[in-house]
Amino acid sequence: MSIAIGDPVPDLELTATDDQQIRLTDYRGRNLVLYFYPRASTPGCTQEGLDFAAAHADFGAADTLILGASRDGLRAQQNFKTKQSFPFELIADTDEQLCRAFDVIKLKTLYGRESLGIERSTFLIDATGTLVREWRKVKVKGHVDEVLEAVRGLAQ
C-alpha cells in the first residue's frame, strides 16, 4: 500500500550519503521535499539535481529541506553528490522500501524493451510529517520552480 495525500509519512530507516542512517520522521518540524529520480549521473537526473541545488537557499528560506532518492547504491549516490556538489543528501534505496512506500516503481518501456524503474516523482511533506502534494511523471524543465511555489504556499 502506498502513501496518499493526507497520510503521515512512514517511519523507515534509510541509508543516505555521508554515511548517514536517517528516517523521514527525523525531519518533522520542517517541510521536506523528497524527489525520486531513475538513475544517478544520467543527464535528466543530473539536471534535476542541479536545479534543486540552485534553489537550495530559496527552499531553506522557506524552512524546507530536500532529499533525493533512487535505487542506486550508496557509492553511486555519494559519487553523484560529490561530483555535482549537491548541498543535500541522497538516499540509496537499494531495497526499494522507500520507492514502494511512495509507489514510484513503474513498468517503463525504452526502445521496445520493458523494465521496472523509478518514475520521476516529487513529494512535499509538511512540518507535521504529512504528505501534502505530489508530482508524478515529472518533466525536469521548470519542475523545481513549481515545487518551490508550492512550498511557499504552505507558509501562507
Parallel, antiparallel, or unpaired for β 13-16 and 31-36?
unpaired
Rounded CA-CA distance 105/25 in Å is 22
Q: 45 an active-site residue?
A: yes
Task: Retrieve residue 84's grid coordinates.
Answer: 555535482
Catalytic residue among 9, 16, 33, 45: 45
Reading phi first (left if > 0) and then psi (alpha if -120 to 50, else beta), residue 29 is in: left
Task: Retrieve residue 16's grid coordinates.
Answer: 543516505
**What are the phi and psi torsion angles at 146 (to 5°)?**
-65, -40
Catalytic residues: 45
